[in-house]
Amino acid sequence: MLNSQAAARDLAGPRGFATTRWSLSHSAGGSDTNEQNAREALGELCRTYWRPVFLFVSRQGYPLEEAQDLTQDFFAMILESDWLQHADKHRGRFRSFLLKSLQNFLSHAKERTRAVKRGGRMEFVSWDEWMAEAPSQLSLPAETLQYIPPEQLFDLRWAATVVEHALQRLREECETKSRLRLFETLSVHLMSERSDLSYASLARALGIAEAMVKKQLHNLRKRYRWFLRDEVAHTVENIADIDDEIRHLCAALAETN
């Protein structure tokens, strides 16, 4: 289970980012290439943040299969319609705009006959592939989930997704540098700085000096925090909004403690 207090603390770190996926997704128009790039950027955001959407839909009382269908239909609507034209780029939080759009979508769900069935015309991953490719590390007791309002649960799942993706990117980076064993040994300590941490035992496990363990853990934490900020950066229009978005996600994680 993710340590939400530690995850909240670690949503802070180095700054400096280029074009975000959310800002890129606003760039549709002007040329076929721009529109294709925008749709690909939006599609990537949807694939990344489908869990908060599904969790929110499920909390509206829909049976599992219907919640799955509605989640797929919602993303089909986004990717195949002029949804982007209604996005206010000056209120550039992908998270908040997606939630508002989802609420509007569900308010009309019973009135519409679904024109897009699961799979549809778009090339989108299947439900089973979603589950297989993005296993969740967030585990909350059922009684806790029961009393969290749907909107808060959406933000909690969103924040957890940010943390999970940052950890996965760090793992992949370590693997490419033949440092996977280092990551697997130290990753459990990335989100907390416990006073009872035994550098001696970690040194024995890795076969390196304690001083080197401290240095490597410091470097991994720094890189991990960079990935966290980068994940958040891809969901805002303006990089100046990163810190506000981080504070919001920190608050969502803190509510579960």
Considering only residues 21 and 186, tell me which one the structure prediction assigns the higher pLDDT.
186
Q: Other C-beta atoms within 10 Å of 113: how many?
A: 4
- Is the per-residue pLDDT at 3 higher than 70? no
pLDDT above 90 covers a percentage of the chain that reads 23
Query: Left (φ > 0), alpha (ψ -120 to 50) or beta: where does 16 sit?
Result: left
What mean pLDDT comes out for the span 100-112?
Answer: 82
Residue 204 token pair: 């024995």
Rounded to the nearest integer, the mean pLDDT of the chain is: 75
Question: pLDDT class for 95, splitting at 50, 70, 90?
Answer: confident
The mean pLDDT value for 133-146 works out to: 60
Supply angle C-alpha 186, 4, 214, rounded to 5: 25
- pLDDT tens per residue, range 11-69: 434 333 334 555 555 554 444 556 666 667 677 777 778 889 998 999 888 898 888 88
Lowest mean pLDDT among 5-9, 184-188, 206-210: 5-9
Rounded to an integer, the average pLDDT of 242-257 is 81
For the segment 200-245, what is each residue's pLDDT rounded down to a tens digit?
999 999 999 999 999 999 999 999 999 989 999 888 878 788 888 8
The dihedral built from the CA positions of residue 175, 177, 178 and 183, taken in this order, carries a sign that is: negative
Average pLDDT over residues 146-159: 86
Least reliable range by pLDDT among 2-11, 54-63, 68-77: 2-11
Cβ pair 74, 5 in contact under 8 A:
no
- Mean of the pLDDT values across residues 89-114? 75
In the block, residue with structure tokens 């839909």? 57
Q: Is the Cβ–Cβ distance between 186 and 202 less than 8 Å?
A: yes
Top mean-pLDDT range of 31-35, 101-105, 146-150: 101-105
Instruction: Report whether pLDDT(90) > 70.
Output: no
> pLDDT band at 197, cuts 50/70/90?
confident
pTM of the entire predicted model: 0.69
Reported as a pLDDT band with limits 50, 70 and 90, residue 6 is very low
Give the integer Cα–Cα distance in Å for 236 and 87. Answer: 12
- The one-character DSSP state at 17 is -
Task: Quote the pLDDT of residue 190.
Answer: 87
Q: How much is the pLDDT for 11?
A: 43
120: number of Cβ within 10 Å: 17
Cβ neighbors of 195 (< 8 A, separation 6 or more) are none
Exposed/middle/buried for 152, CB within 10 Å: 0-12, 13-18, 19+? middle
Per-residue confidence (pLDDT) for residue 29, from 0 to 100: 44
The confidence score (pLDDT) of residue 236 equals 83
Average pLDDT estimate for 168-197 = 89
pLDDT, residue 163, reads 87
